[in-house]
Structure 1
Amino acid sequence: MTDPFGPEVVAQIADHMNGDHADDNVLIVRALGGVPEATAARMTGMDQEAMIFAASVGGAEAEVRVPFTERLTERRQVRAEAVRMYREACEKLGVPARH
């Protein structure tokens, strides 16, 4: 089976997450990545199991893997999983979801 998330696809998804959802990235890393002190986060990669973020913590950058609920096999699954992560993060943090 071919990896559905080659470098070009991952770059497109990361560009979207970092450009349109930068604040969401921080919430996801804080609530689901186990880094509540993160002040910023940008998506740097992903595979079929997780999104990978670079989180700013105390002036340093830390890699944070946030796992999906299941192994993704198609690009179309990424959006639903990103929305789920965001909404779950909002719920955990007690922040109203904006979308």
Structure 2
Amino acid sequence: MNDDHPEDSLLIAQAFGHTDATASVMTTLDENGGTWVYTLDGSEIPLTLLWTNPISERPEIRREIVVLYDAACERLGITPRPH
């Protein structure tokens, strides 16, 4: 996520953390959700979001991040790119 889609991490942080976030990285994840740390005014702020469904296998992670990405785009009024 951090290497492949850094702009998506920032978009998620801006939608669910603070719209003025300037950077974001995913730091952890488990079966229940993921945690990002975003930067706002020089401070690092954790943001934990729950998955829509608990995950048990690696491919499910992508599905849940896509759900968050789409929800972030909707919340920010941005057209999501095709998946």
TM-score, with structure 2 as normaliser: 0.89
The residue type equivalent to 2:28 in the other structure is G
Computing the radius of gyration from Cα coordinates, the structure with the larger value is 1
Question: Alignment RMSD, CA only?
Answer: 1.2
Percent same amino acid at aligned positions? 37
Aligned residues between the structures: 82
Q: 5+ unaligned residues in a row in structure 2: which ranges?
A: none
* Structure 1 stretches of at least 4 aligned residues deviating more than 6 Å after TM superposition: none
TM-score, L = length of structure 1: 0.76
| 1:28 partnered with 2:8 | no
Q: Which structure's residues are more often strand, by fraction?
A: 2
Where does structure 1 lack aligned partners over 5 or more consecutive residues? 1-16
Aligned match for 2:61, one of 59, 69, 78: 78
Deviations 1:40-83 (A, max 9, x none): 10011111111111100111111111111121111111111111
2:42 alignment counterpart: 59
State the shift of 1:36 in Å.
2.2
Please point out which of 42, 45, 60 is paired with 2:28.
45
